[in-house]
Amino acid sequence: MFLCGMNAMILRRTATPLELVVRDVPEPGPREVLLHVTACAVCRTDLHVVDGDLPGAKPDLVPGHEIVGTVVAPGAEVHDLAIGDRVGVPWLGWTCGTCSFCRSGLENLCDLARFTGYHLDGGYADYTLADHRYCLSIPAAYNDEQAAPLLCAGLIGYRSLRMTGDAHSIGFFGFGAAAHIITQIAVHEGREVFAFTRPGDSPGQSFALSLGAKWAGSSTTEPPEPLDAAILFAPVGALVPVALRAVRKGGIVICAGIHMSDIPSFPYSLLWGERMLRSVANLTRQDGREFMALAQRIAIRTHVQRFPLESANEALRVLREGRIEGAAVLVPEIANRAR
């Protein structure tokens, strides 16, 4: 290998800041590709991994699962990707392919699944490895920074939106990276979006309205009309009864986050009337292909705030404080460094 070292931000211990280290550039296995990371978006799930909310992270993990990279070295058995190809690497990094979930189109639920930036090293680094079978092609119209948030915020948001069926009016609780992308898709599909933000977050409400939301307000206020569906992007269990109260009879509430604070007890009357409550877990490769095809047809404008790789802790802090408009994206600048 002609590359001798790379910068990476690693998680030594949960609930401590990531550490900048110089590591050997990894060698790809037969089915892997070595990627030069050109952009990696920062997801709320990264916060849950760093905080230790999700147990079982790989030791000395490199977080990051919204990776855009260029193939530097394909493994011996990789024939569908070549040096120089641009790919996206999402959260779903590997599945067993043989369990009942994998065989029935639900590989997102595979018990043995390995996830990028959690069980597998991710994109908070100059280089990373990915199994070529889980890489996604990215529409050419998006530059690397704009494309990165599509890989989780867009994808999980898309799976959540599909689960609302043909709901016409949809409430989004938490207006961050996912909601800002999915609002554009929902509006394109002729749906009405109602954006719920933290109380007092008038910049967030203005941002939602600028993207085509019909209404924006605080999560402590009721929508002007009962909604067909609601999607919770905020990891706040207390919003579950709030969202159930906002939907009409027969409406559905989708919990889109991988982790959520405890849901308080609530009266059965909020669920009564055939209201539904369900979670969305991970994504399938089929979701990825469908979503990228959609992103090719619709010009989604992702709003990104760039951070150098070394500022990953700062990006996580700003995300935690709810001060990112759109998505935070790490951009490694490897020229003249770590070589």
Cβ-based nearer residue to Zn ion, 43 or 329: 43
The nearer residue to Zn ion, 192 or 287, going by C-beta atoms, is: 287
The yes or no reply on residue 43 touching Zn ion (CB under 5 A) is: yes
Q: Which of residues 120-179 bind Zn ion (CB under 5 A)?
A: 152
Region binding Zn ion by CB under 5 A among candidate stretches 13-21, 41-49, 236-244, 300-308: 41-49
Half-sphere exposure of 133 (CA within 13 A, CB side): 9
Please state, in angstroms and rounded to a whole number, the distance separating the CA atoms of residues 208 and 183. Answer: 8
Alpha helices, DSSP H only, in 230-330? Answer: 239-246, 285-297, 312-320
| CB 63, min distance to Zn ion, A | 10
The answer to whether 90 touches 149, Cβ cutoff 8 Å, is: no
Cα–Cα distance measured from residue 237 to residue 259, given in angstroms and rounded to the nearest whole number: 9
Of 36-44, 116-124, 265-273, 321-329, the window that binds Zn ion (rule: CB under 5 A) is 36-44
Hunting for tokens 């089929």 — which residue is that?
A: 286
Secondary structure class of 109 (helix, strand, coil) = helix
Q: Which stretch binds Zn ion (CB under 5 A): 26-34, 110-118, 190-198, 270-278?
A: 110-118
In angstroms and rounded to an integer, the radius of gyration of the C-alpha atoms of the chain is 20
Other residues' Cβ atoms within 10 Å of the Cβ of residue 190: 7
CB of 98 to Zn ion, least distance (A): 6
Tokens 């920062």 -> residue? 42
Residues between 79 and 108 with contacts to Zn ion, criterion CB under 5 A? 95-96, 99, 102
> CA-to-CA distance for 165 and 218, rounded, in angstroms?
25
Query: Is 252 a residue that touches Zn ion (CB under 5 A)?
Result: no
Least distance from Zn ion to the Cβ atom of residue 59, Å: 21
Quick note: the x/- pattern for Zn ion over 204-233, rule CB under 5 A, is ------------------------------
Rounded least distance, CB 234 to Zn ion, Å: 14
Name which of 118 and 194 has its Cβ closer to Zn ion.
118
Helix, strand and coil content of the chain, in percent to the nearest 5, comes to 25, 25, 45
The token duo for 90 is 């999402």
- # binding residues, Zn ion (CB under 5 A): 8
* 184 touches Zn ion by CB under 5 A: no
Identify which of residues 45 and 184 has a Cβ nearer to Zn ion in the complex.
45
Piece of 109-117, 119-127, 246-254, 328-336 that binds Zn ion (CB under 5 A): 109-117
Helix (H, G, I), strand (E, B) or coil at 94: strand
Looking at this protein, which amino acid is placed at residue 143? Answer: N
45 vs 169 by CB, closer to Zn ion: 45
Least distance (Å) from Zn ion to the CB of residue 99? 3
Alpha-carbon distance 127 to 124, whole Å?
Answer: 8
In angstroms, how far is CA 300 from the centroid of its own chain?
15
Among 45, 164, 205, 284, binds Zn ion (CB under 5 A): 45
Interaction site with Zn ion (CB under 5 A): 43, 45, 95-96, 99, 102, 110, 152
